[in-house]
Structure formats: structure tokens, C-alpha cells
Structure 1
Amino acid sequence: MTVAFWCVLIAILLPFVCTGIAKFSGGQFGARQNHDPRAFLANLDGFAKRAHSAQMNSFEAFPAFAAAVIIADICHNAQQVTMDVLAVLFITSRLLYIICYLADWAMLRSLVWFVGLGLVVSLFCVSV
């Protein structure tokens, strides 16, 4: 399996890291809240709410990244090392994005988000 494909797996798991942070950062999550976790997460505030928002954005960013990696792989026009580097950079941008979200660095978070989008576009462009 290629590094780029491993990055797809990491991208699948990143939202769940954010979920754990959102649920357990405030010490409020328990068996009772697990009956309706979406309602619990919707009512969070502060750090935990930002973690939940990072989770939601991670789920939103995943399909484009996965599609870009798969398309780049099946087109056979890009060198594997190029795809791997772009995929690792995307995961790095997502980790930075999550850190910026949790730290409430809104402007830097937006910049990092655009970098991630550019990396997804780059994966498509190397497929041509």
C-alpha cells in the first residue's frame, strides 16, 4: 500500500480524534449523553465546540481528498513520490487546521484550510 493510501486511512480517522476531544475535554460526556450524542455535541461551547466543528470539517474535507488520491493513482500520470508528498502535506495541513481550530486561531485556520484545498487540487492536477 502506498503512503498516499495510508494518508487516506489517516484522514478517515482524524474526525474521530476530534470527536473524542469534543466529547471528553469538558468531562461532561457519560453514558446518559451517549443516548443522543448528536444533541450533546450540538450543545457544546468553547473548546469542546471548536473540536466538534473541526470534526465536522474533517468529515467534509475527506471525500475530495480521497477522490483526488484515487484519481491520481488510477491515472498513472503522476509519480508515486509526488502523490505521496502531496498526501502527507494534506494530512499535515489537516493536523495544523485542527490545532488552529482548537486554539481559536481563526485567520490562521482559514489560511491552512486553503492550503489543504490547494493540495487536493494539486493531486488532481498531477493526474493530468
Structure 2
Amino acid sequence: MELFIDECLSPSLAAELNATGFHVAQHPRDFGGLGDPDHVVLRRCVDNNLVIVTQNARDFRALVATEEIHPGLIILPVAGKARSKELVEQAIAFLHTLGDPMMVMINSVLEITSNGSMRLYDLPVDD
């Protein structure tokens, strides 16, 4: 998958995902994007087809709802570095059961709770 790891998460999460050879993950620390406002992050992700991975549910949910088409949003609970990595890996595995994860995530949000339960829904909501 192609992922943007929000700055609220550890940069090591992006590094570990990249090390698998199966994912491309960017963290704002790696390209001078620390402190960028959320709307700038969203634009970068839309322009570069990156699924946003964040703990900032309220702000990013509201932002992606304004986009006609977006590459997707994965919302993690506040958790430690190791647990966040586990949850991202579980999310990716879950998405693979539904097809090509990048295609599944188009205009979708995947919310994960601390116990690992997942809820996938469209945003913006289809009429």
C-alpha cells in the first residue's frame, strides 16, 4: 500500500512498513513536512494517491468528507508505537481480504478500535 503516516504517529512506523518491501510509507519528518496544516496534508495525499493513517479522527474525517474523491483514511486509536504497527498491519491484512487495498480504500474510511475491531465505510457518503 501507499501510505502517509501522520505526524501524530512515530516515524519508525513508516520506516518499518517500508522495510517490508511491500509498502511505500511516508512520514512528514522524512520530507520536511512536520507542522503542515491538515488541509495541506490532505492535498498532498490526494495529489500523490496516499492513504492517510492517523489518530486525528475528527479533523481528517471532516476534511476527507469535503473531497469528491480521496485515496482513503485509516484511523487508529491512540496507542503505543508497537500497538499502532500491529493495528496497521491488521488493517492492511483485512483490506487484502476485500481486494486490492488501494482500490478498497478509495473514498473509504477504516476505523480501528484499540481492541482491533474495524469498521469500513464510505466518506463522503454515497447518495
TM-score (norm 1): 0.29
Relative contact order higher in (CA < 8 Å, ≥ 6 apart): 1
TM-score (norm 2): 0.29
Higher helix share: 1
Structure showing greater Rg: 1
Higher strand share: 2
